[in-house]
Structure 1
Amino acid sequence: MASINVIEWIEKYAKHIGSDVLEVGAKRYKEHAYLGLREFLAEKLPRSRLIGCDISAGEGVDVVLDITAPLQVVKSTLRNKTFDSVFCVSVLEHIPDVFSACKNISALLNPGGALFVSVPFVFRYHGYPGDLWRFTPEAVTYLFPDIDFLDYKYSTVTTLEQDDRMSLKDENLEKMNRFLYRPRSREDKVARKEAKQAGETVEAYSLAPAMINMFGFKK
């Protein structure tokens, strides 16, 4: 989902967005799930040229395209354009053949081009139309072998609460669970422990809904 934290993550690295931009999964389905990339680029980077593609026609879609089709078909549909930047936000979990999708996305990036990809790590079911996958940072790296994520220097894990984020810099993956455990504060944990010792019923620990946001460059 395009939460405020994901949008702010994109804004932070906007200086790396090139002139020719592709948004994969550009269709506006619901207001709370809308990235608003076109409006953002028009305001912040008016010289950029955005093409929005999606599996079906709708608001925000310039080209109807199955990103998992054979690469030759994908390129032909896009008139053989390649791109300086590609955005793929809250899309991959809905694609059955995620491997072909990622391979084609990489192929559409120019050398040195920037990839912004945001995927759910812990999240409820949300079908547009289906919901098939959840991802770790390692999974994203595996899916995009041609992208240098720079030891996750520009990558984060974020919840749906504003400003609730953790850097993944230097592949800081083992701390993700600690960051996402709720309750998280020491005070809440102590209160929970005391209540449990007193024989009270306490809620189980849970992981907060979270997105993995990864940014890198085409090798």
Structure 2
Amino acid sequence: MSDIIVSQMDIDHLKIIRQSIIDFMIYVAKHYANKPGILLDIAPQIYEGAKPFFLQSIKIETFDINPASGCTYIGDICTYNNCLKNDIFDYIVCTEVLEHTLQPFNAVAEIWRILKPGGIIFLSVPFNLRIHGPLPDCWRFTEHGLRVLLKDFSILELNNIETLERQLMPVHYTVVAQKLSK
């Protein structure tokens, strides 16, 4: 098997995305998650996850598909998880996860189920980035796709970082959305 050559653009975009996630977590912790509550960090993986960014009065729980992850809950976000009660979380962090799910609409439905009415999801996804791990890497979402995916939520903010040399090809999206009572 030949060596994979990673382009400079992909290296640059990955740096942009990682900084965007840090900036996003700092921003939402200050402006949206400033009250005590329970936060679920979905698939925090090997990175710091949400914990360093939020108040100590916010209890951080974690969720991952990998049984070896050491997370609070183990399951597939694309299915109903008995270990998670309805309407339990005040906040959910889901950064760089949906592109790896096999059924993103099911994942968002499960997030809806476990988020309290009035609860807020902090979501981010890459757009202009190469296929990356953990595999599978199945999807890229545009602003329009995110609005459809989050149709049952009130989108409070939907922001992107544009690719400088290519309009309408954002590097990254961040979303703050609230679950309203149906």
Q: TM-score range by the shorter chain?
A: 0.7 to 0.9
CA distance in 2, matches of 1:147, 1:81: 14
**With structure 1 as the length reference, what TM-score do the two structures score?**
0.67
Extract unaligned runs of 5+ from structure 1.
29-33, 159-178, 183-204
Q: Give the counterpart of 1:20 among 38, 44, 55.
A: 38
CA distance in 1, matches of 2:61, 2:26: 19
Aligned Cα root-mean-square deviation (Å): 2.3
**With structure 2 as the length reference, what TM-score do the two structures score?**
0.79
Which has the larger Rg?
A: 1
Work out whether residues 22 and 87 of structure 1, in 8 Å CA contact, stay in contact via their aligned partners in 2: yes
Amino acid at match of 2:72: D
Name the structure, 1 or 2, with higher relative contact order (CA <8 Å, separation 6+). 1
CA distance in 1, matches of 2:42, 2:94: 5
Structure with the higher helix share, 1 or 2: 1
1:1-219 correspondence to structure 2 within 5 Å:
3-14=18-29, 15-17=31-33, 19-28=37-46, 34-41=47-54, 45-59=55-69, 61-69=71-79, 71=80, 74=81, 76-79=82-85, 82-150=88-156, 154-158=157-161, 179-182=162-165, 210-219=171-180
CA distance in 1, matches of 2:160, 2:97: 17
Work out whether residues 27 and 53 of structure 1, in 8 Å CA contact, stay in contact via their aligned partners in 2: no
Deviates more, 1:209-218 or 1:56-65: 56-65
After TM superposition, give the deviation of residue 3 of structure 1 in Å.
Answer: 1.0
Work out whether residues 45 and 69 of structure 2, in 8 Å CA contact, stay in contact via their aligned partners in 1: yes
Change (3 A) 1:100 1:13: same
After TM superposition, give the deviation of residue 109 of structure 1 in Å.
Answer: 0.9
After TM superposition, give the deviation of residue 127 of structure 1 in Å.
Answer: 2.5
Amino acid at match of 2:50: L
Work out whether residues 99 and 143 of structure 1, in 8 Å CA contact, stay in contact via their aligned partners in 2: yes
After TM superposition, give the deviation of residue 141 of structure 1 in Å.
Answer: 1.5
Amino acid at match of 1:132: C
Work out whether residues 99 and 139 of structure 2, in 8 Å CA contact, stay in contact via their aligned partners in 1: yes
Deviations 1:118-153 (A, max 9, x none): 011111110212110001111111112221113xxx
After TM superposition, give the deviation of residue 114 of structure 1 in Å.
Answer: 0.8
Partner of 1:161: none
Change (3 A) 1:8 1:77: same
Partner of 1:189: none
Change (3 A) 1:23 1:36: closer
Runs of 4+ in 1 over 4 A off after TM superposition: 205-209
CA distance in 2, matches of 1:46, 1:212: 27
Change (3 A) 1:38 1:59: farther
